[in-house]
C-alpha cells in the first residue's frame, strides 16, 4: 500500500511538472552512462578520459528537451554519438540508453509522419553504429531488437493514455447525464406542483379561503424542499468549499425511501389523491437503489400532475426476493398524453435510464382495464444486478 501510494504521488507530480520528470530521467541516464568510466578497465584498453566523459555527457543533456522536440533531440543524439565514435576511443556502453529513451519518446508523443521519419533514420543509424563499433551480426540483431522494443513500449503507452482519456470523457458524459436527470427531476417536480397550486389559488380565494391558504403553504413548502434538494446536490458537487459557502445545507447526496411519505404528502397537497402501499418482505435497500426508487416515483407522479389530468394515482412497491418493483398508475388521459409527459419525453427517458443503470427494466403504457397510464419498473437487488436492461413502450 505504501509503495502504491508513493507511486500515485509520483505520477501526480510528474503530470503537474513534466520538466522535472525529464530532468530526473536525464540524470538517471547520465548515472548509467557514467558507470563504464568509474569501473576499472582492462589494461589492454585505453584509459577513460575527461574529454570522452564530457562528450558522453553531451549525448545525454538533450534528453531534457525530449518532449518539446523529440525528433530534434534524436538528431542531436545521433550526431554526438557519431562524433564520439570517430574522434575518441572512450568506454562503450552496454546499452544505447539515450537512443532507447528518445525512440520511446518519439513513439509515445509524435504524430505518424514524425514516427515514420524516425523509423527511416534508425534504419540507417543502427547499421552505421554497429559498423563503427563491432561490425558483428550479433550486435546488429540485439540493437534492432532493443530499439523495436522501445518503439513498441512507446506506442503502448500512447494507446493506454488515449484509452484512459476516452474513459474519462465517457465518465464525464455519464456524470453530466446523471446531474441533468437530477436537476430535471427536482425542478420539474417542484415547478409542476407549484403551477397546479398557483392556478388553483385564485379560484380558492373566491370560493374557499381556507383552501387558498393551504395552496400557498404548499407552494412555499414545495419551493423550500426544491431548494434543499438543490443545495444537497451542489454541496456534494463542490470540492474544498468552506462552511460559509454551503451554509447549513445537508451534505447527503440524494433522498431515499424514508423521504417518500413527504413526497407523497406534497403531491396530495396539490390536489392529486395519491394512494401508497407496499407488498412482499419490506427491507432496507442500498442508498443508490433507494434514491433511484424515490426519483422514479417522483418523476412518474410529476408526469401525472403535469399531463394526465388525473384524480387518483397509486404507488405500489413490491419487495421480491431479488428485486424491488415500482408501479405508479393513474386514472388520467392515458398514453395519448404520454408524448407530452416529462417535457417531450425526457421524464420517461430518465426513468428508463435510471432503471438501466441498475440492470433493470422499465415498462410504460395503458393502465388497468385500458384506462389511465402506468409506469412499471423492476430493479434487481445487488445479487441479481447482471440482468440486461429493457425498455418497452
pLDDT tens-digit profile of 113-158? 889 988 888 888 888 888 877 788 888 899 899 999 999 999 999 9
Q: Note the pLDDT of residue 17.
A: 80
How many domains, in total, are found in the chain? 2
Residue 389 — pLDDT band, cuts 50, 70, 90?
very low
Determine phi and psi for 332, rounding to 5 degrees: -85, -145
Residue 388 — pLDDT band, cuts 50, 70, 90?
very low
CATH label of the domain that carries residue 360:
3.30.565.10
Q: pTM for the whole thing? A: 0.56
Regarding whether 275 and 208 lie in a shared domain, the answer is yes
**Grid cell digits, residue 67:** 518532449
In a domain, 153, yes or no: no
Q: Note the pLDDT of residue 325.
A: 94
Distances (CA, A) of 182 to 135, 175, 186, 363: 70, 11, 6, 21
Q: 335 burial class (0-12, 13-18, 19+ CB within 10 angstroms)? A: middle
Q: Where are the alpha helices (DSSP H) in the chain?
A: 2-16, 18-38, 50-60, 70-87, 97-109, 112-133, 137-207, 209-237, 243-246, 260-269, 287-303, 342-357
Average pLDDT over residues 162-166: 90
In a domain, 91, yes or no: yes
Beginning with the edge strand found earlier in the chain, give each strand of the sheet holding 323-330 in spatial order: 273-280, 312-319, 323-330, 373-380, 361-366, 390-392
Q: Note the pLDDT of residue 162.
A: 92
Q: Please work out, in degrees rounded to the nearest 5, the angle formed at the alpha carbon of residue 140 by the alpha carbons of 138 and 141.
A: 65
Contacts of 159 by beta carbon, 8 Å cutoff, 6+ apart: none
Q: Note the pLDDT of residue 321.
A: 87
The whole-angstrom separation of Cα 372 and Cα 309 is 10
Beta-bridge mates of residue 373: 330, 366
Neighbours of 187 (CB within 10 A): 14
Regarding whether 180 and 301 lie in a shared domain, the answer is yes
Q: Note the pLDDT of residue 250.
A: 46
Regarding whether 329 and 221 lie in a shared domain, the answer is yes
What are the tens digits of pLDDT across the range 42-93? 777 767 888 888 888 998 999 999 999 998 999 999 888 888 888 876 787 8
What are the tens digits of pLDDT across the range 207-245? 666 666 666 777 777 777 777 777 776 766 665 444 444
Last residue of a domain, one of 111, 135, 159: 135
Q: What is the dihedral of CA 6, 8, 13, 19, to 10 degrees?
A: 100
Determine phi and psi for 92, rounding to 5 degrees: -85, 175
Q: Three-state DSSP class for 317?
A: strand
Q: Note the pLDDT of residue 206.
A: 67
Asked if residues 285 and 324 have their Cβ atoms less than 8 Å apart, the reply is yes
Asked if residues 121 and 81 have their Cβ atoms less than 8 Å apart, the reply is no
Regarding whether 174 and 323 lie in a shared domain, the answer is yes
Distances (CA, A) of 381 to 62, 203, 329, 354, 387: 59, 47, 23, 14, 10
In a domain, 218, yes or no: yes
Determine phi and psi for 326, rounding to 5 degrees: -120, 130
Regarding whether 209 and 120 lie in a shared domain, the answer is no
Last residue of a domain, one of 118, 135, 152: 135
Regarding whether 177 and 126 lie in a shared domain, the answer is no
Regarding whether 130 and 175 lie in a shared domain, the answer is no
**Grid cell digits, residue 81:** 554519438
DSSP labels for 228-277?
HHHHHHHHHH--S--HHHHTT----SS--GGGHHHHHHHHHHTT-EEEEE
Provide the 8-state DSSP code for 389. Answer: P
Q: Note the pLDDT of residue 27.
A: 94
Domain that holds residue 297: 169-392
Provide the 8-state DSSP code for 338. Answer: G
Average pLDDT over residues 308-335: 89
Regarding whether 122 and 73 lie in a shared domain, the answer is yes
What are the tens digits of pLDDT across the range 81-120? 888 888 876 787 878 899 999 999 999 999 998 899 888 8
The whole-angstrom separation of Cα 195 and Cα 174 is 31
What are the tens digits of pLDDT across the range 297-321? 988 988 888 888 888 999 999 999 8
Regarding whether 99 and 27 lie in a shared domain, the answer is yes
Amino acid at each position: 500500500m505504501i509503495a502504491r501510494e508513493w507511486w500515485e504521488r509520483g505520477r501526480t507530480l510528474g503530470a503537474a511538472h513534466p520538466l522535472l520528470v525529464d530532468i530526473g530521467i536525464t540524470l538517471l541516464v547520465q548515472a548509467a552512462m557514467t558507470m563504464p568510466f568509474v569501473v576499472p578497465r582492462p589494461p589492454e584498453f585505453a584509459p577513460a578520459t575527461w574529454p570522452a566523459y564530457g562528450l558522453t555527457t553531451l549525448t545525454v543533456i538533450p534528453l531534457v528537451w525530449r518532449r518539446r522536440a523529440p525528433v530534434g533531440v534524436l538528431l542531436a543524439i545521433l550526431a554526438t554519438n557519431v562524433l564520439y565514435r570517430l574522434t575518441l576511443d572512450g568506454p562503450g556502453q552496454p546499452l544505447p540508453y539515450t537512443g532507447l529513451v528518445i525512440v520511446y519518446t518519439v513513439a509515445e508523443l509524435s504524430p505518424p509522419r514524425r514516427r515514420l521519419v524516425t523509423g527511416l533514420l534508425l534504419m540507417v543509424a543502427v547499421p552505421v553504429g554497429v559498423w563503427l563499433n563491432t561490425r558483428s551480426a550479433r550486435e546488429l540483431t540485439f540493437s534492432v531488437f532493443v530499439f523495436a522494443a522501445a518503439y513498441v513500449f512507446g506506442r503502448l503507452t500512447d494507446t493506454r493514455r488515449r484509452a484512459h482519456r476516452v474513459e474519462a470523457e465517457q465518465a464525464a458524459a455519464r456524470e453530466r447525464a446523471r446531474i441533468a436527470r437530477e436537476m430535471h427531476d427536482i425542478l420539474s417536480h417542484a415547478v409542476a406542483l407549484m403551477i397546479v397550486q398557483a392556478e388553483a389559488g385564485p379560484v380558492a380565494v373566491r370560493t374557499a379561503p381556507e383552501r387558498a391558504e393551504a395552496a400557498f403553504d404548499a407552494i412555499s413548502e414545495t419551493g423550500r424542499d426544491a431548494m434543499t434538494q438543490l443545495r444537497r446536490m451542489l454541496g456534494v458537487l463542490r470540492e474544498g468549499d468552506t462552511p460559509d459557502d454551503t451554509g447549513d445545507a445537508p451534505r447527503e447526496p440524494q433522498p431515499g425511501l424514508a423521504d417518500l411519505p413527504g413526497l407523497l404528502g406534497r403531491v396530495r397537497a396539490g390536489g392529486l389523491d395519491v394512494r401508497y402501499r407496499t407488498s412482499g418482505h419490506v427491507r432496507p435497500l442500498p442508498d443508490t437503489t433507494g434514491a433511484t426508487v424515490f426519483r422514479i416515483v417522483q418523476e412518474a407522479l410529476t408526469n401525472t400532475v403535469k399531463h394526465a389530468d388525473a384524480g387518483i394515482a397509486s404507488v405500489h412497491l413490491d419487495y421480491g426476493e431479488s428485486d424491488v418493483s415500482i408501479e405508479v398508475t393513474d386514472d388520467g388521459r392515458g398514453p395519448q398524453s404520454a408524448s407530452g409527459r416529462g417535457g417531450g419525453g425526457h421524464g420517461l427517458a430518465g426513468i428508463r435510464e435510471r432503471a438501466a443503470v441498475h440492470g433493470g427494466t422499465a415498462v410504460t403504457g395503458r393502465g388497468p382495464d385500458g384506462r389511465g397510464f402506468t409506469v412499471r419498473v423492476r430493479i434487481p437487488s445487488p445479487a441479481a444486478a447482471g440482468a440486461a436492461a429493457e425498455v418497452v413502450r
